Chains A and B, each alone.
Chain A
């Protein structure tokens, strides 16, 4: 007769299935202590046999041994292994690296701030650093706002940068026009929601392709109310997709929209300018004059008025330059470190390419 004994143990809630051959041995006098259920007809002559009892004890010992082994292999939640810290790579700006430890690979990093807050400057610096490491990068540009000249000036290896310019509907007729003519047609077709949809699909494809060192999603030109239409599940999907890849996923926007999906959240803003700071800047400009006068180009201070050139400095005759834009960066959230008691902030400056 082919039947099986199914015994359950309350402690582990596991099922033990014994075949018909062992069943006869188990279902003896001590079978009830094992918790076995003996079908009718199995309580035969073995009930009184001593060797059968020994066998039952051996089986019981084996089961106990197996149970202890299984229990030993299951680690309690308190002893779960900590997820290894992500590899950090340089952002291209020493001050940001000092503040955040760099940009984490396999994580989503958000950079946000208002217009002129230095987001693109930080993005280009990160791209420059990544391309100089020999990595291939991708910029998915929702607003078609990237300036290749600025990228080249920032030191980005343009051959290693894939630029996806979202914002138009694909049509074969667009092949025939020139760049300028196309702008007029594209403007009619451009729609923020359409750009956003293209950006998300392109980002999905790039993450699926893999092999990129840095993928940047440029949402800086999108209004926050439109950018917030991206479902949180999309950000979770991006985070999950990039998790096991050596890719830095960088999102750049006006306001933080990815929520807890971002491992690093950096807020940027242009330094407030008041009368005292302006005076200080004028002093700095005076100190930095010799360096600035390279190549015979005169240089003013940060966002300096023509008329406010310091005394002793030769007043420029024809033009002033916009230099040294001071940017404040603040780490709002970081998974890599515990949140500091006070928000960590740094100030770094950027200067226009032609200031030397």
Chain B
């Protein structure tokens, strides 16, 4: 069994998908390139108003109720990708027959989706969910399914052996869809002269006589007319990315209308991913900017490419093409349009594009859906989606590189750590359990904690026999006084082979303060000869 999905009036359907609010209106699509801008496609309601594809744009504009839209190759390519997504969500073997047609091999799909009618209805419903009004036909061979889908609206199921009967009343023109105009006209005029006007007539012609007159081409057409032509499908590859794009009539300056457009695009991408049981771990937003050069000077981000060390977003601005790119990387595959929108909004608030936007392109890298089952005895952890949003919000408050988890570096240098992205994962669960079991056997010792002064407080230190006896910290009045006790010095140095060499003596000192005795770490930088208070023991 094969199914064919056909999108009637494809240009209009592509516009309806991009702008669903136009569905209730009369819409005419015009070709932009040639000087007399001609109408190429019209919606049903526009046709009722008398708008026809032969009109020019100027003529159509006389009717105030008609909404005119330029034909967009971008929208049509996206609609075509959606059509293939719809087909591939049912069968792995899908042929890309035309821009508006896809053929599916349904062999073995009955156990999953039911018999032919159920599958056809499911395909029709899925196409509707993805924003396309499709004709779906199911037949025993692909060509019969395509012919039926092109001519019969809605869902059509042709039972086995009934192909010729069902297709018989159709005009012979349906066989020449996609043919070159001259070749099709020649054959059609020949058939016209023979008095063959529908497929039943063509199917009834004697095969030998037909082959003598029209050759193998004639026999092939007769096979199609009988619904008996058989062939194998040429499967199309699965897409590497899921893309949506919008060309704007007027440049968008504010983030609010941009968010409105992004929301629609994200919902469409999420619907496409959901139809394929996929999620995404990376979203790439590319904004084409208007008059980039003038805004470039204002935003002082000329030809730069920077990436946060711990951030989940990467920004790229190319000076060659006026594009502004943001990449949103997620720790786990997710599929939540609202979450993606919030994350993109927060990111764009922190990194505004700096110029009006004329085109939006959004691409999602597909990933397998996250399968997780919480254990009964596993402590609860934050939901990844909620946590991601929370982290993004906190990052917008305090800065991207000031929120996350800590990774210790292999160095004895002070502040020998770096911030990294906070991810709750169960990757090292087993290792941790082992560590915990090992730690629980050991006797726990309470370790005194140090609180670091960032930046360190410069200090004036009085020395006696090379040991500190009095400390005065001009920036912090609390940290001053006579040294009651001291321990040290502890000398350390490193990175002497590099420019950032360090060498220091550390002292632990107790100073009498108004609240009592306080313990500090005093550091003598041996390279610069300065003293500073690094922190306090607490």
Task: Report which A residues bind B (CB closer than 8 A).
Answer: 92-94, 114-121, 123-125, 132-136, 143-155, 157-168, 170-172, 174-176, 179, 183-184, 186-187, 198, 201-202, 205-206, 208-213, 220-221, 246, 269-270, 272-273, 300, 303-306, 319-322, 325, 348-353
Nearest residue, chain A, Cβ from B407: A158
- Nearest CB of A to B420, in Å: 9
Do the beta carbons of A349 and B446 come within 8 Å of each other? Answer: yes
Do the beta carbons of A119 and B538 come within 8 Å of each other? Answer: yes
Do the beta carbons of A300 and B487 come within 8 Å of each other? Answer: yes
B451-489 CB contact bits vs A (8 Å, 1 = yes)? Answer: 111110000000000010000000000100000111111
CB-CB under 8 A from A246, the residues of chain B are 380
Determine the distance from Cα of A21 to Cα of B535 in the docked complex, in whole angstroms: 84
Do the beta carbons of A198 and B398 come within 8 Å of each other? Answer: yes
Other A-B contacts than A150-B449, A208-B390, 16 sampled, CB-CB below 8 A, are: A92-B444, A114-B513, A116-B519, A121-B449, A145-B451, A146-B451, A149-B416, A155-B439, A167-B398, A179-B415, A186-B454, A202-B394, A209-B382, A211-B380, A325-B448, A351-B446
Determine the distance from Cα of A168 to Cα of B386 in the docked complex, in whole angstroms: 24
Do the beta carbons of A147 and B452 come within 8 Å of each other? Answer: yes
Q: Can you list 15 A-B contacts (CB < 8 A)?
A: A92-B444, A93-B446, A121-B446, A132-B440, A162-B404, A164-B403, A170-B397, A175-B306, A175-B401, A179-B415, A187-B455, A209-B390, A213-B379, A306-B467, A348-B446
B392-403 CB contact bits vs A (8 Å, 1 = yes)? Answer: 011111111111
- Nearest CB of B to A103, in Å: 15
Name the one of A124, A183, A205 contacting B393, with C-beta atoms under 8 angstroms: A205
Determine the distance from Cα of A150 to Cα of B440 in the docked complex, in whole angstroms: 19
Tell me, yes or no, whether B152 is within 8 Å of chain A by CB.
Answer: no
Do the beta carbons of A116 and B536 come within 8 Å of each other? Answer: yes
Name the one of B398, B406, B487 contacting A168, with C-beta atoms under 8 angstroms: B398
CB-CB under 8 A from B454, the residues of chain A are 144-145, 183, 186
CB-CB under 8 A from B400, the residues of chain A are 170, 175
Do the beta carbons of A210 and B382 come within 8 Å of each other? Answer: yes
Name the one of B382, B488, B515, B537 contacting A325, with C-beta atoms under 8 angstroms: B537
Determine the distance from Cα of A264 to Cα of B161 in the docked complex, in whole angstroms: 82
Tell me, yes or no, whether B246 is within 8 Å of chain A by CB.
Answer: no
| Given A174-B401, A183-B454, A322-B487, residue A125 in contact with residue B535 (CB < 8 A) | no
| Given A170-B397, A198-B397, A205-B394, residue A269 in contact with residue B402 (CB < 8 A) | no
- Nearest CB of B to A316, in Å: 10
Do the beta carbons of A134 and B406 come within 8 Å of each other? Answer: no
CB-CB under 8 A from A162, the residues of chain B are 391, 403-405, 422
Name the one of B383, B417, B508 contacting A352, with C-beta atoms under 8 angstroms: B508
Do the beta carbons of A134 and B432 come within 8 Å of each other? Answer: yes
CB-CB under 8 A from B537, the residues of chain A are 116, 322, 325, 352
Q: Would you list the 3 A-B pairs with minimal beta carbon distance, nearest first?
A: A211-B382, A114-B515, A120-B449
Nearest residue, chain A, Cβ from B505: A319
Do the beta carbons of A150 and B450 come within 8 Å of each other? Answer: yes
Determine the distance from Cα of A118 to Cα of B446 in the docked complex, in whole angstroms: 10
Determine the distance from Cα of A271 to Cα of B391 in the docked complex, in whole angstroms: 40
Question: Which of A125, A163, A187 counts the most chain B CB atoms within 10 A?
Answer: A163
Tell me, yes or no, whether B447 is within 8 Å of chain A by CB.
Answer: yes
Determine the distance from Cα of A160 to Cα of B428 in the docked complex, in whole angstroms: 11
Name the one of B398, B408, B416 contacting A158, with C-beta atoms under 8 angstroms: B408
Nearest residue, chain A, Cβ from B415: A179
CB-CB under 8 A from B403, the residues of chain A are 162-165
Do the beta carbons of B517 and A270 come within 8 Å of each other? Answer: yes
B362-392 CB contact bits vs A (8 Å, 1 = yes)? Answer: 0000000000000000111111001101110
Do the beta carbons of A118 and B538 come within 8 Å of each other? Answer: yes
| Given A116-B518, A121-B449, residue A145 in contact with residue B535 (CB < 8 A) | yes
Determine the distance from Cα of A154 to Cα of B446 in the docked complex, in whole angstroms: 7
CB-CB under 8 A from B484, the residues of chain A are 303
- Nearest CB of B to A90, in Å: 10
